Amino acid sequence: MLGHVPRKVGRDSLVVALRSMGYRTKGETFEVLGYRELRGRRRFHAKVETFGGDMVPKEATIDLHLDRMDGDLMGRHGYETDGPEIQDEMDRILRVILTASTTDAKHVTCPECGKSMFTDHFASHLKIEHRR
């Protein structure tokens, strides 16, 4: 499923936004990749084009799909591009990007688990993940 970045956002803020949602991120020169594991040997795979700059422009492409890990020794896998689960995840990503800072990432690192997230999400993270 293809989507678009709703507004101009910093590359670092984009990485923090994906990490705050539970994605493992990998930055390349022209894109940011994110993976979030699901049950049943599936994972979300998000790719956001950054065009090599520190700022991700408005309307940059977001490619989101579900990878089906079939246990192939060569690492090949199938994927799904449409469905309600993917649409819900795309909506979540867009909402979090809208809360991301345009200049610098205002984020904190959880002292217990080391996860990086926005300061807005920190209180919820402590309640949900660490039951505080």
Domains assigned to the chain: 2-102 (3.30.310)
- Per-residue model confidence (pLDDT) at position 53: 87
Could you tell me if 8 and 57 are in contact, meaning their C-beta atoms sit under 8 angstroms apart? yes
Q: What is the pLDDT of residues 97-120, one digit of tens each?
A: 887 766 555 667 888 888 877 777
Q: Are 22 and 36 in contact (CB under 8 A)?
A: yes
Question: Which tens digit of pLDDT belongs to each residue from 15-69?
Answer: 888 988 889 999 888 999 999 998 888 899 999 999 998 889 999 999 999 988 8
Average pLDDT over residues 83-101: 87
On whether the pTM is more than 0.85, the answer is no
Facing residues of 37 across strands?
A: 43
CA distance 16 to 100: 8
Express each pLDDT in 119-129 by its tens digit.
777 777 888 88
**100, 16 contact by CB (below 8 A):** yes
* DSSP one-letter string for 71-121: --TT---EEE--SHHHHHHHHHHHHHHHHS-SSS--EEE-TTT--EEEHHH
